[in-house]
Amino acid sequence: MDIMKIVMVGIIAALLAVVLKEEKPEMAVAISIVTGLVIFVFVITKLNSVMTVLKHFAAKANIEVLYFTTILKVIAIAYITEFGAQICRDAGEGAIAAKVEFAGKVLIMVIAIPILAALMDIMIKIIP
Amino acid sequence: MADFLREWVINIAVIIIFIMFLDTIIPNSSMKRYINVIVGLMIIVVVIKPFVLIKDYADSFNMKFLETSSYIEQGGSAADSTEISNFQRQMAVEIFENNLKKKVGRIVDNSTDSDYEEVSIDLRLEKDFESKDFGEIKSIEVIISKRPKEVIEVDRIKIAADEDAEVNKNVINKDKVEYNLNNSRISSEIRDGISKALGISESIIGVEVRQ
């Protein structure tokens, strides 16, 4: 079972990090980063297959690829930002974590801008 | 009309189900608000699509979307793209030079026999991107050297008569002339072959045959 593997990796890494925190805090941070990466990569491959199925259904239901890819991009940015910010927070760098989150928010807004612009354009054209 | 309505309803239903599903996936953080804004925009787009289609603004919508996204992407990557294109040009020139060298090497191999072993090819190309003649071959220098033969030790030879020495001298001279003729024949063959294969003037091709 995959969830068992992930949970075991998590528990072992947490124990190691707790033990090492007193002696070598920098190693504890490294362990948390590596564990996060391992779990992230493991889960992202699973998520990839889900996304392929969703894409297939989106194509079948005649949903425009434009909407679909935009939403997927936004979710990917959100996840990666969250991941990076949490690692920074674990290392005790709250300020850097806030900056990472800020960058993520800006990038999400950048993705949203084309939709917003197109929508505004249509609105202005429709209203006589 | 029925088909159109059917498609519209399917679109709305599918996108709502899809967003409900994605709502469970998205990370539970401050990002959620921003994602919701975009999702809301999407729903507005899907809902007003019939009006867009009736007014025949669908193309205009897509055009505006693509225009804005390309503008945003270009702004971020303008510096990167020039750097990348310069690097790609350099790589292309290198590959071109290597291929040209290989080709010249093949021509030299075909024109000479196996006695000639070491072949050095020196190419000079116009590498200035700004130049009008970019990529043009300026000159080709081919130097081929003969494989060193093993030296056979022979016993000392005594030449008694003057006549014999004279004969020997003549023979040596004759050989030398023959040898030079052979060299010039090979070099002209190589020059001719390269000139024909690459379509360049023979005057920019230099061939040297070394012992």
What are the boundaries of each domain within chain B? 2-83, 95-150+159-210
Q: Which residues of B touch A65 (CB under 8 A)?
A: none
The pLDDT of residue B178 is above 60: no
pLDDT for position A96: 93
Reduced to 3 DSSP states, what percent helix, strand and coil does chain A have, rounded to the nearest 5?
Answer: 90, 0, 10
Tell me the DSSP string of A46-57. HHHHHHHHHHHH
What confidence tens digit (pLDDT) does each residue in B125-174 have? 877 777 777 778 888 888 887 766 556 666 666 666 555 555 555 555 55
Residues B95-150+159-210, CATH architecture: 2-Layer Sandwich (3.30)
3-state secondary structure of B96: helix
The confidence band for B202, taking pLDDT boundaries of 50, 70 and 90, is: confident
Tell me the DSSP string of B28-55. SSTHHHHHHHHHHHHHHHHHHHHHHHHT
CA pair distance B105, B169, nearest whole angstrom: 37
Q: Show the tokens assigned to B28.
A: 């539970």
A122 inside 8 A of chain B by CB = yes
Q: Show the tokens assigned to B112.
A: 């000479």
With CB atoms and an 8 Å threshold, state whether A114 touches B72.
Answer: yes
The C-alpha of B35 sits at a distance from chain A's nearest C-alpha, in angstroms, of 7
**Are the C-beta atoms of B107 and B193 separated by less than 8 Å?**
yes
A34 inside 8 A of chain B by CB = no
Q: Which residues of A touch B19 (CB under 8 A)?
A: 71
pLDDT for position A24: 85
What confidence tens digit (pLDDT) does each residue in B69-117 have? 777 777 656 666 677 777 788 888 888 888 888 888 888 887 776 666 6
pLDDT for position A95: 93
With CB atoms and an 8 Å threshold, state whether B41 touches A121.
Answer: no
CA pair distance B12, A103, nearest whole angstrom: 31
A90: nearest Cα among A19, A27, A23: A27
- For B159: left if phi > 0, alpha if psi spans -120 to 50, otherwise beta; the answer is beta
Question: Distances from the Cα of A11 to the Cαs of A3, A5, A26, in angstroms?
Answer: 12, 10, 19
The confidence band for A100, taking pLDDT boundaries of 50, 70 and 90, is: very high
The pLDDT of residue A60 is above 80: no
pLDDT for position B131: 77
- How far the first Cα of chain B sits from its last, in Å, is 89
A117 inside 8 A of chain B by CB = yes
CA pair distance B16, B10, nearest whole angstrom: 10
pLDDT for position A10: 93
The one-letter code for the residue type at B124 is R
Q: What is the ipTM of this complex?
A: 0.70
A119 inside 8 A of chain B by CB = yes
Q: In percent, how much of chain A has pLDDT > 70?
A: 95
Q: What are residue B192's phi and psi, to 5 degrees?
A: -65, -45
Nearest to A112 among B10, B15, B38 (CB): B38
What confidence tens digit (pLDDT) does each residue in A67-81 have? 778 888 888 888 889
Q: Which residues of A touch B30 (CB under 8 A)?
A: 101, 105
pLDDT for position A12: 94
Least confident residue range of A25-34, A115-124, B59-68, B187-196: B59-68
The confidence band for B39, taking pLDDT boundaries of 50, 70 and 90, is: confident
The confidence band for B9, taking pLDDT boundaries of 50, 70 and 90, is: confident
Between residues A3 and B112, which one has the greater pLDDT? A3
What confidence tens digit (pLDDT) does each residue in A31-56 have? 888 998 898 888 888 878 887 887 78
- For A6: left if phi > 0, alpha if psi spans -120 to 50, otherwise beta; the answer is alpha
Between residues A119 and A17, which one has the greater pLDDT? A17
pLDDT for position A7: 94
Q: Which residues of B touch A108 (CB under 8 A)?
A: 31, 34-35, 38
pLDDT for position A14: 92
